């Protein structure tokens, strides 16, 4: 093992709810031991989706049994469309059928959607049981699995029902990324770029140096990049668990991303792609508002485009975007905490109305380049 591939640990510091994120390459078979040590559970329920489960659940379940736990495997439907109260209810029934009790741990094995659904079930079953994240997508590794946000969707909007339920640990094995399609890799890297853009100019430079190697899943570039992105998220969550201030910075690119997902339908655009569009828009808007120096948006867009990510919003009427912004749940009264860049590596929240985020232009369409 080269030094670059040594196992790494990032700590999320939340007092008695603190937990480690372990990162490594080819480490899945060691997860059971860590889960047993951190949870003291006697029973593990591995919640996964069919494809991921077929590839990795066997190794994980075996390692849990070797660590002395009774195991249950539950597969749930894949994708964001399965994050519903109805699926949560089915999961509860299967937890009951498996005799899951307060000595059980729910282990989410998969991407962000399965982590959100399994995490919501873990947060609410018997008023909360232990929870562990074993993310198998870049997006879930650097974002969804850290910070304790778990949720299901309502017909009228995403993530409207949920909880803050911190995992006991996050176990990242980059070898599980091998089966991830290129498009999903790129989308996941959008959140890595976000972490650098809002918090760490040096890291952003590293990403510019390594973009193609990251996309090719070169572990020597990927492991330190994921560690850095996890550390940024962990630091922000540690300082603001319940999203009362600093944590809002993680919404960089997300205000418009949610609107894009709402308008396009969640199946047509990947979350990371929508975030890429939203970040590019926000960076341009940051320059127009006089927050960021000229060239900030161009530099961000250049990196995103090297990763194969979109940087223009879909062409929809401005009125549609304005309506979509109004279902965003972060709204309190009429202003939105919109995240702007101060430059590469620095962000801040600015209270803006939807109309200020999306100023009108001739034709009433949302422009790639907004005139002010």
| Residues with catalytic function | 127, 149, 191, 233, 243, 247, 251, 254, 258, 271
Residue 124 touches its own copies, criterion: CB under 8 A = yes
Name the residue nearer to its own copies (CB basis): 7 or 103: 103
Cβ–Cβ < 8 Å for 369, 284 = yes
Secondary element (H or E) of residue 107: strand 104-110
Q: Which of residues 76-95 bind its own copies (CB under 8 A)?
A: 85, 88-89, 92-93
Name the residue nearer to its own copies (CB basis): 104 or 296: 104
Whose CA is closest to 133, among 144, 354, 123? 144
Q: Which of 6, 37, 65, 102 touches its own copies (CB under 8 A)?
A: 102
Give the x/- contact pattern for its own copies in 330-369, rule: CB under 8 A: xxxx------------------------------------
Specify the pairing of strand 104-110 against strand 19-24.
Answer: unpaired
E strand intervals along 136-295 = 149-154, 157-164, 169-173
Secondary element (H or E) of residue 20: strand 19-24
Name the residue nearer to its own copies (CB basis): 165 or 228: 165
The number of residues that bind its own copies (CB under 8 A) is 32
CA distance 272 to 269: 8
CA distances, 192 to each of 29, 200, 209, 326 (Å): 26, 11, 14, 27
CA distance 114 to 201: 32
Name the residue nearer to its own copies (CB basis): 287 or 328: 328
Give the x/- contact pattern for its own copies in 304-333, rule: CB under 8 A: -------------------------xxxxx
Tokens of 48: 């996964």
Q: Which of 58, 128, 202, 317 touches its own copies (CB under 8 A)?
A: 128
CA distance 217 to 55: 18
Q: Which of 62, 73, 78, 101 touches its own copies (CB under 8 A)?
A: 101
Q: Which of residues 234-273 bind its own copies (CB under 8 A)?
A: none
User: Which residues form the interface with its own copies (CB under 8 A)?
Assistant: 42, 85, 88-89, 92-93, 96, 101-103, 123-128, 149, 151, 154, 156-157, 159-164, 329-333
């Amino acid at each position: 093992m080269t030094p670059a591939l040594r196992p790494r640990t990032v700590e999320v510091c939340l007092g008695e709810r603190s937990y480690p994120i372990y990162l490594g390459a080819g480490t899945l078979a060691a997860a059971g031991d860590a889960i047993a040590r951190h949870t003291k559970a006697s029973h593990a329920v591995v919640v996964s989706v069919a494809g991921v489960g077929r590839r990795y659940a066997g190794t994980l379940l075996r390692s849990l049994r070797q660590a002395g736990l009774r195991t249950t495997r539950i597969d749930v439907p894949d994708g964001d469309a399965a994050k519903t109260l109805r699926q949560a209810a089915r999961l509860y029934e299967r937890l009951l059928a498996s005799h899951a009790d307060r000595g059980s741990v729910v282990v989410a094995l998969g991407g962000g959607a399965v982590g959100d659904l399994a995490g919501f079930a873990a947060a609410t079953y018997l008023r909360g049981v232990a929870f562990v994240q074993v993310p198998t997508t870049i997006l879930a590794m650097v974002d969804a699995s850290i910070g304790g946000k778990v949720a299901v969707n309502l017909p009228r909007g995403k993530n409207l029902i949920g909880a803050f339920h911190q995992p006991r640990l996050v176990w990242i094995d980059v070898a599980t990324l091998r089966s991830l399609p290129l498009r999903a890799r790129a989308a996941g890297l959008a959140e890595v770029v976000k972490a650098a853009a809002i918090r760490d100019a040096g890291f952003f430079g590293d990403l510019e140096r390594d973009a193609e190697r990251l996309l090719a899943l070169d572990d020597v570039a990927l492991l330190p990049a994921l560690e850095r992105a996890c550390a940024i998220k962990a630091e922000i969550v540690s300082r603001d668990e319940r999203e009362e201030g600093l944590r809002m910075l993680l919404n960089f690119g997300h205000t418009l991303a949610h609107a894009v997902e709402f308008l396009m339908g969640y199946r047509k655009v990947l979350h990371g792609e929508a975030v890429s569009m939203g970040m590019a828009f926000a960076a341009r808007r940051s320059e127009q508002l006089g927050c960021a120096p000229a060239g900030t948006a161009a530099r961000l867009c250049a990196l995103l485009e090297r990763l194969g990510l979109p940087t223009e919003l879909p062409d929809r009427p401005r009125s549609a975007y304005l309506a979509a912004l109004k279902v965003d749940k972060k709204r309190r009264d009429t202003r939105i905490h919109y995240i702007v860049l101060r430059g590469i590596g620095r962000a801040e929240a600015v209270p803006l109305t939807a109309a200020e985020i999306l100023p009108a232009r001739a034709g009433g369409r949302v422009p790639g380049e907004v005139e002010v």
